[in-house]
């Protein structure tokens, strides 16, 4: 039997969590208003007490501004839960898997989703390479300038997410497990993560010397037809720099590489 995917209820819960993190005044009541459901019904749906129809799921997906692909997956998940026949369930599951593979990323676990809510988690992960057998919350906290309790919480999260492992001799190791992102739900967390890193980059402009960082900028007129080629160039640069980092000898610091290329004009010329 085909392994079944994440439920649509989890997607709704993740979306609600992201919206409340972005706007603390946002609530279940506000989300119910946005999607056109009674608050009690939405609460029951998220808590697996009641369900929604595929027809209603279409409206919910539109209200939450899912992409066309994400909306189709969401509706299929609703259909999957409401179907008893195993043969049909297998067909729906196969279709959902096909759609997810077509967009490459897959769903994060709840622990992996949480990784994106705090910028310290990935530097803590990379600290394993620096300290090796001396890896500890105290050393990581000193390296990153954070509280030891925060470092300890991050280490615990990385263990639960399966990105590091603890050996019988007390040593920690990176599992080299690939962190994969889905365009449903967790992508909102990814946007939050990017915003946090942009704040750190702004701080680095004032606190780090030119010998410690690279900052470059350019503004130019451009054809949107050339954007795929520009993406290829940037992806190649990422690949080369991360390969350089992987083979770096005597590592003694942690860096973040971030690139932004975006349209400044409000619309294209016809």
Does residue 109 surpass a pLDDT of 80? no
Q: How confident is the model at residue 69 (pLDDT cuts 50, 70, 90)?
A: confident
The full DSSP string for 21-39 is HH-TT--HHHHHHHHT--H
225 DSSP 8-state letter: G
Q: Which two tokens stand for residue 54?
A: 């595929």
**Sequence-separated contacts (24+) of 79-82 with Cβ below 8 Å:** 79/54, 80/4, 80/5, 81/7, 81/8, 81/51, 82/51, 82/53, 82/54
Give the pLDDT band (50/70/90) at residue 197: very high
| pLDDT reported for residue 177 | 62
Rounded distance between C-alpha atoms, residue 59 and residue 46, angstroms: 16
Structure tokens at 104: 């490459």
Which 8-state DSSP code applies to residue 133? G
pLDDT tens per residue, range 8-55: 999 999 889 888 888 889 999 999 999 999 999 999 999 999 999 999
Catalogue all structural domains in the chain, each as residue range(s) with its CATH number: 8-103 (1.10.260), 109-179+216-270 (1.10.10.10)
Question: How many CB atoms neighbour CB 241 within 10 A?
Answer: 12
Residues in the chain: 270
Give me the DSSP letters along 182-195: -SSSHHHHHHHHHH
Q: What's the whole-model pTM score? A: 0.57
Q: For residue range 131-190, what is the model confidence (pLDDT) as tens digits?
A: 878 899 999 999 999 999 999 999 999 998 888 998 877 789 888 665 655 444 446 777
Label residue 207 exposed, middle or buried (CB < 10 Å: 0-12, 13-18, 19+). exposed
**Mean pLDDT value across residues 200-206:** 95
């Amino acid at each position: 039997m085909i392994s079944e995917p994440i439920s649509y209820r989890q997607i709704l819960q993740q979306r609600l969590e992201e919206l409340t993190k972005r706007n603390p005044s946002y609530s279940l009541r506000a989300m119910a208003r946005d999607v056109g459901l009674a608050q009690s019904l939405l609460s029951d749906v998220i808590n697996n007490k009641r369900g929604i129809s595929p027809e209603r799921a279409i409206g919910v997906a539109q209200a939450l501004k899912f992409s066309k692909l994400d909306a189709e997956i969401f509706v299929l998940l609703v259909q999957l839960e409401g179907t008893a026949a195993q043969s049909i369930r297998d067909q729906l599951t196969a279709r959902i898997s096909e759609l997810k593979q077509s967009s490459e990323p897959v769903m994060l676990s709840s622990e992996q989703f949480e990784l994106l809510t705090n910028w310290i988690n990935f530097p803590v992960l990379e600290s394993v390479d620096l300290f090796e057998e001396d890896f500890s919350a105290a050393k990581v906290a000193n390296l990153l300038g954070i509280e030891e309790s925060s470092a300890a919480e991050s280490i615990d999260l990385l263990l639960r997410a399966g990105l590091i492992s603890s050996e019988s001799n007390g040593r920690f190791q990176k599992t080299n497990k690939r962190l994969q992102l889905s365009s449903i739900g967790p992508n909102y967390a990814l946007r939050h993560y990017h915003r946090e890193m942009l704040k750190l980059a702004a701080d680095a402009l004032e606190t780090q010397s030119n010998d410690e960082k690279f900052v470059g900028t350019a503004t130019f007129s451009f054809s949107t037809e050339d954007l795929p080629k520009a993406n290829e160039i940037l992806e190649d640069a990422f690949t080369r720099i991360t390969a350089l980092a992987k083979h770096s000898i005597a590592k003694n610091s942690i860096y973040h590489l971030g690139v932004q290329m975006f349209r400044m004009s409000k619309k294209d010329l016809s």
